[in-house]
């Protein structure tokens, strides 16, 4: 049943709301997760309360009587008694964070280039969020509207916005616009520390785009597709893991995954490559002069691009909508496709669940790495990019081509 144009538009709008809503809630949640994960790694608790309480902030209570400020904090204190639930103490923090950023004074330095200064956070944000248009979160339709549903009855509702057959190209193209936001913002601030940060960032992103793309070419060459859904389907069905070629493919994907993640860290300005905003060297790097909403735009775009990088990694290396990564799924399917257990048979089918789980795991790895490793120096970063990663990825690319030829 093909939808009419208006039906199609309505459904598209709904899809946009759902996907963007998902991303927009994931990003603040990610900031909360960052507090918690890094806190736990560092043997402390992270956020457990909100300053003053969101309601019922009380006056004049003393420390000696050991009471709490606000009912919300009292509730969170009570949560702290239970083993697992206590992890979610401090969850209102992400609302408080957003409120704080929204209500802060928005300062534009007198000497700044006003138009560019205002424009560049928007540029970064738009680039980071447009990318989600091409990411296929779900395989096929998420659900069908029930037949009785007014106007839209019987139509499918997809878990993605578009199913571009050049999805990867689109994503890489749009995401690389984001660096203009950083560079222009840094330049427009007319200040020294942002300038240094912006220059670092420009050089870094330009040089890491190359190995990033090259490493993504490995699965592309192996499967012959640029499309999210097709990629994971082919990986799950086309590539049999038997013989030397199959094993070679799996190994190559495995190594490629790590190389890709490394480049992804650099692309998103995360530790160990967070030179552009290295707070111990450049105060806050390119966004030193930004405050309030404009700052939060940069902030959100960084986290959004983390989600993009994780989504790409899980689609292209970790098997996308299927359970097993690195092209191991066909073997699994071979054994369990017709198994009597309904659960095992289900693990052979594509599902949005696997995709999201992989994204969450990778996001966790982002935070985990941030808590563990030091930061590279500017020239060393360039060394790693040009002298290590690019040769590495080129070799991988050649091997991938040979494997493709052999198959």
Partner 1 sequence: MFKTEEMEINLGPQHPSTHGVLRVKLHLDGETITRCTPMIGYLHRGVEKICENKTFFQGQVWTDRTDYVASVSNNLGWAEGVEKLFGITVPRRAHYIRTMLTELNRITSHLLWLGTHALDIGAMTVFLYAFREREEILSIFEAFCGARLTTTAFRIGGLREDLPPGLEKLVRAFQARFLDCIDEYETLLTENRIWKKRTIGVALLNAEDAIALGVTGPVLRAAGSNYDIRKAFPYASYAEMDFEVATQTAADTYARYLVRLEEMRQAHRIINQCLDGLPEGPVMAKLPKVLKSEVNEVYHAIEAPKGELGYYFVGEKGGQNPYRMHIRAPSFINLQALSKMVVGRLLADVIAAIGTLDVVLGEVDR
Partner 2 sequence: MASPRYSLLRTLIPFDIYGGMKLTGKYFGKVLRQANRGLKRTHVVVEYPEVPTTLMPRFRGRLQMIKDEQGEVKCVCCMACEKICPTQVITIEKGKKEGRKTPFPIRYDFEMERCIFCEFCVESCGFDSIILNHQFELATYNREDFSHAMEGGFQNMFDPTPVSHYSVSSED
Binding site for partner 1 (CB under 8 A): 38, 41-44, 192-193, 196, 200, 271-272, 274-275, 278-283, 370-380
Tell me how far apart the alpha carbons of residues 89 and 73 are, in angstroms, rounded to a whole number: 9
**What is the token pair recorded at 69?**
């400020």
Least distance between partner 1 and beta carbon 86 (Å): 19
Residue carrying the six token digits 């069908």: 144
Nearer to partner 2, 294 or 370 (CB): 370
Tell me how far apart the alpha carbons of residues 379 and 376 are, in angstroms, rounded to a whole number: 8
Least distance between partner 1 and beta carbon 272 (Å): 5
- The H-or-E segment that residue 129 falls in is helix 114-130
Give yes or no for a contact between 172 and 186, defined as CB atoms under 8 angstroms apart.
no
Binds 118, which of partner 2, partner 1, none (CB < 5 to 8 A, cut-off by type)? Answer: none
Strand (E) positions, 310-399? none
Nearer to partner 2, 216 or 367 (CB): 367
Binds 143, which of partner 2, partner 1, none (CB < 5 to 8 A, cut-off by type)? Answer: none
Residue carrying the six token digits 């950083």: 182
Nearer to partner 1, 126 or 371 (CB): 371
Nearer to partner 1, 175 or 282 (CB): 282
Binds 229, which of partner 2, partner 1, none (CB < 5 to 8 A, cut-off by type)? Answer: none
Binds 196, which of partner 2, partner 1, none (CB < 5 to 8 A, cut-off by type)? Answer: partner 1
Least distance between partner 2 and beta carbon 396 (Å): 12
Nearer to partner 1, 142 or 369 (CB): 369
Dihedral (C-alpha) 237, 241, 243, 248: value to the nearest 10 degrees?
A: 110
Least distance between partner 1 and beta carbon 375 (Å): 3
CA–CA–CA angle 43, 48, 50 (5° rounding): 145
Q: b/e map of 301-312 (b: 16 or more CB within 10 Å)?
A: bbbbbbbbbbbb
Binds 66, which of partner 2, partner 1, none (CB < 5 to 8 A, cut-off by type)? Answer: partner 2
Give yes or no for a contact between 118 and 188, defined as CB atoms under 8 angstroms apart.
no
Least distance between partner 1 and beta carbon 37 (Å): 11
């Amino acid at each position: 049943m093909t939808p009419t144009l208006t039906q199609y538009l309505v459904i598209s709008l709904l899809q946009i709301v759902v996907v963007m809503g998902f991303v927009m809630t994931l990003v603040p949640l990610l900031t909360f997760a960052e507090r918690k994960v890094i806190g736990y790694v560092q043997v402390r608790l992270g956020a457990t309360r909100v300053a003053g309480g969101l309601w019922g902030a009380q006056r004049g209570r003393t420390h000696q009587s050991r009471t709490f400020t606000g009912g919300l904090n009292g509730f969170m204190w009570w949560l702290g008694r239970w083993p697992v639930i206590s992890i979610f103490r401090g969850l209102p923090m992400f609302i408080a964070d957003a409120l704080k950023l929204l209500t802060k004074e928005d300062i534009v330095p007198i000497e700044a280039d006003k138009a560019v200064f205002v424009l560049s956070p928007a540029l970064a944000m738009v680039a980071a969020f447009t990318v989600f248009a091409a990411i296929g979160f779900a395989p096929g339709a998420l659900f069908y509207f029930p037949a009785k549903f007014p106007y839209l009855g019987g139509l499918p509702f997809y878990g993605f916005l578009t199913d571009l057959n050049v999805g990867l190209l689109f994503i890489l193209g749009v995401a690389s616009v984001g660096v203009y936001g950083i560079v222009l913002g840094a330049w427009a601030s007319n200040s020294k520390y942002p300038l240094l940060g912006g220059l670092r960032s420009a050089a870094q992103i330009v040089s890491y785009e190359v190995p990033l793309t090259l490493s993504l070419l490995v699965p592309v060459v192996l499967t012959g597709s640029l499309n999210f859904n097709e990629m994971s389907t082919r990986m799950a069905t086309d590539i049999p893991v038997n013989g030397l070629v199959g094993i070679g493919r799996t190994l190559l994907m495995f190594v490629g995954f790590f190389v890709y993640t490394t480049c992804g860290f650099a692309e998103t300005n995360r530790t160990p490559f967070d030179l552009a905003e290295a707070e111990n060297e450049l105060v806050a790097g390119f966004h030193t002069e930004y405050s309030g909403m404009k700052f939060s735009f940069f902030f959100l775009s960084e986290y959004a691009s983390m989600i993009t990088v994780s989504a790409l990694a899980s689609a292209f290396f970790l098997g996308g909508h299927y359970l097993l990564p690195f092209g191991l799924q066909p073997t699994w399917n071979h054994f369990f496709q017709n198994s009597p257990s309904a659960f095992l048979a289900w693990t052979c089918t594509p599902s949005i669940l696997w995709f999201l789980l992989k994204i969450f795991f990778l996001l966790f790895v982002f935070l985990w790495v941030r808590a563990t490793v030091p930061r590279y120096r500017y020239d060393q970063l360039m060394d790693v990019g040009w002298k290590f990663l690019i040769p590495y990825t080129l070799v991988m690319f050649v091997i991938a081509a040979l494997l493709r030829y052999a198959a």
